[in-house]
Amino acid sequence: MLNLWMGRRSGLLLGGIAAVLAGSLAHLGEAAPAVPDPCKLVTAAEVERIAGSLKGAPKPGDIASGDVSCEYKPAKTAWINVRLQEGELSYWKSRNGGKNPLPLPQLGKDAFVNPDSEGSADLFAKKGNLVLRVSAPKGPIAVDMIKAIALKALPRM
């Protein structure tokens, strides 16, 4: 009787260990969340409504080399770039915030825009582990334009 009980107990113990391992292995097999395609965060039609007609289709960056971006070429503006990056907003603010970064609380905690970053306006906002960066050449409507694009793109990340 004792041997039968020990067998059942060992079987239950081994079955429990197998269940735990199977759960752990299933968890390990889960893929990391996919990085969104920047060209799908805001459509060409949405960019046209914000920035005017486009010259050609949006151009994706070279994702294989780490350039997770999409460039739009509006007729009235040389370019608009939507990019996804890693890191903390504090890092990007220290690196790209300029002398007077403007806070953008409507785009999340610590979101900001630098209206003049070496000739361009750069907006930074964070969702999850990704930082959204929207850029356009500096100009009188650049900040409003990139804010409108970020408002479309951020919820889709």
Mean pLDDT of the chain: 83
Contacts of 75 (CB under 8 A, 6+ apart): 52, 53, 54, 55
Average pLDDT over residues 12-19: 36
Class (C level, CATH) for 38-156 = alpha beta
Domain boundaries, the chain: 1-30, 38-156
Fill in the amino acid letter for 74: P
| Bridging pattern class, strands 69-72 and 80-86 | antiparallel
Residue 124: which of 152, 66, 82 has the closest Cα?
82
Q: In terms of pTM, does the model score above 0.85? A: no
Looking from the CA of 60 toward its CB, the CA atoms found within 13 Å total: 13
Helices (H), the chain: 2-29, 38-41, 44-51, 89-96, 142-153
**Could you tell me the pLDDT band of residue 72, with boundaries at 50, 70 and 90?**
very high
The confidence score (pLDDT) of residue 30 equals: 56
The confidence score (pLDDT) of residue 33 equals: 66
Query: Is pLDDT above 80 for 44?
Result: yes
Query: Is pLDDT above 50 for 19?
Result: no
The confidence score (pLDDT) of residue 141 equals: 93
The confidence score (pLDDT) of residue 118 equals: 86
Q: Residue 53 in 3-state DSSP? A: coil
Q: At what angle do helices 44-51 and 142-153 cross, to 10 degrees?
A: 150
